[in-house]
Amino acid sequence: MSKSIIELVDNLPEGGLTVSVLKALDFVAPGDWQNVVGFENTVREVTGEDDPALIQDISERALWLYNDKSQGYQRAIWLFQSVDSADFALGAAALANKIGERVSFLGFLNRLTPKADTAQTIDLCLKVVAELVAFCQINGIPGDSIGDFVNALADYSGESMIRMAGLICLDGLIPLGPDFIQAAQSTLSGLSPSRLEQNSTFQQISSFIPGESSEGKLNFIGESFDAVKGWMGGVVAAKGLTPQKVVNHLQGFVEIADDKLDYLAAFLDTSTNYYEHTGTQTVARRLIERAAAEI
């Protein structure tokens, strides 16, 4: 891995479309997420410390832990990056100078191809599995610990909660509709291992997914989604989430017609990396908490 955790956190953007989208999702978890960037700022925020020498000690310990290959922190970062990188390249450059204006969709429609529901379902489920496996890596527990992960979801907050809000809203409700949980389960139940193997994200992260074969990995993906669906459904119900409600909160910077939500999903896929952004913040937070406790 080329960049240290300190570089990754120092290089997180303070603005731009990803940050705007995450801020727009604040209504799902009000006040839960602040976009803390810069490793030193993150140490201050997590620990409440102001002493420069202590901040330096914590930073060095966190870096040491991150660089220790026997720990799972680098693998967690790689997972968060991998589930986003497949989507990101197309739209980012074209949009860089558009933020601050409302982006009209019409200019993008000829460059965007909405994913079929099957591909969208696989992406959604792989993000769930990436979250589960990254959670296990960060916490040093076996990668198939579905029960531990589901229990931990009840305590998700901050950047972890806003990431799951993004998963529900941007990868679930907008592309797959209000019944996205049932739609995804239906698609999963008819999915063949060979179809899963064609997915570029699966190809990247399959070695981290528990299971001896593609069939075994597909079963694990199904079990993981099945275990998380109750929690996701609870968030949807508690917040009254609908595709239209999510779009209303995005209207500040995106204009989109109701019958073009699949294009909106493609647009967000190609122009945001909310999973990597918040995943980097999560790994940094856990490292700093551990480093501070060990000093």
- Choose between 276 and 270: higher pLDDT: 276
Least confident of 12-21, 76-85, 99-108: 99-108
The secondary structure of 74-102, three-state, reads HHHHHHHHHHHHHHHHHHHHHHCCCECEC
User: What confidence score (pLDDT) does residue 98 get?
Assistant: 47
Angle between helices 243-250 and 261-271 (to 10 degrees): 50
User: What confidence score (pLDDT) does residue 145 get?
Assistant: 93
What is the rounded CA–CA span in Å between residue 245 and residue 135?
Answer: 29
User: What confidence score (pLDDT) does residue 132 get?
Assistant: 97
User: What confidence score (pLDDT) does residue 147 get?
Assistant: 95
User: What confidence score (pLDDT) does residue 268 get?
Assistant: 85
Closest CA to 90 of 272, 280, 277, 279: 272
The whole-number average pLDDT for the span 65-94 is: 80
What is the rounded CA–CA span in Å between residue 153 and residue 228?
Answer: 9
User: What confidence score (pLDDT) does residue 108 get?
Assistant: 56
The whole-number average pLDDT for the span 36-46 is: 97
Domain boundaries, the chain: 5-294
Which residues touch 259 (CB under 8 Å, ≥6 apart)?
A: none
**C-alpha angle 245/247/249, rounded to 5°?**
75
Least confident of 125-129, 135-139, 167-171, 268-272: 268-272
Which residues touch 68 (CB under 8 Å, ≥6 apart)?
A: none
Q: What is the pLDDT of residues 233-271, one digit of tens each?
A: 999 999 999 999 999 999 877 777 777 788 788 888 888
Closest CA to 295 of 7, 30, 57, 19: 57
Least confident of 65-69, 167-171, 192-196, 249-253: 249-253
Confidence of residue 119 (pLDDT cuts 50, 70, 90): confident
Query: Is residue 1's pLDDT more than 90?
Result: no
What is the rounded CA–CA span in Å between residue 275 and residue 211?
Answer: 24
Confidence of residue 274 (pLDDT cuts 50, 70, 90): very high
The whole-number average pLDDT for the span 171-182 is: 95
The token duo for 74 is 């680098």
Which residues touch 240 (CB under 8 Å, ≥6 apart)?
A: none
What is the rounded CA–CA span in Å between residue 262 and residue 116?
Answer: 9
The whole-number average pLDDT for the span 154-175 is: 96
What is the rounded CA–CA span in Å between residue 30 and residue 240?
Answer: 14
- Choose between 261 and 122: higher pLDDT: 122
- Choose between 119 and 279: higher pLDDT: 279
Average pLDDT over the chain reads 89
Q: What would the DSSP string read from start to end of 257-292?
A: -GGGHHHHHHHHHHH--HHHHHHHHHHHHHHHHHHH
Q: For residue 294, give Cα distances in angstroms to 117, 133, 190, 270.
A: 47, 24, 48, 40
Give the containing element (helix H, strand E) for 187. Answer: helix 180-189
Name residue 240's beta-bridge partners.
none
Residue type, 254: V
User: What confidence score (pLDDT) does residue 109 get?
Assistant: 55
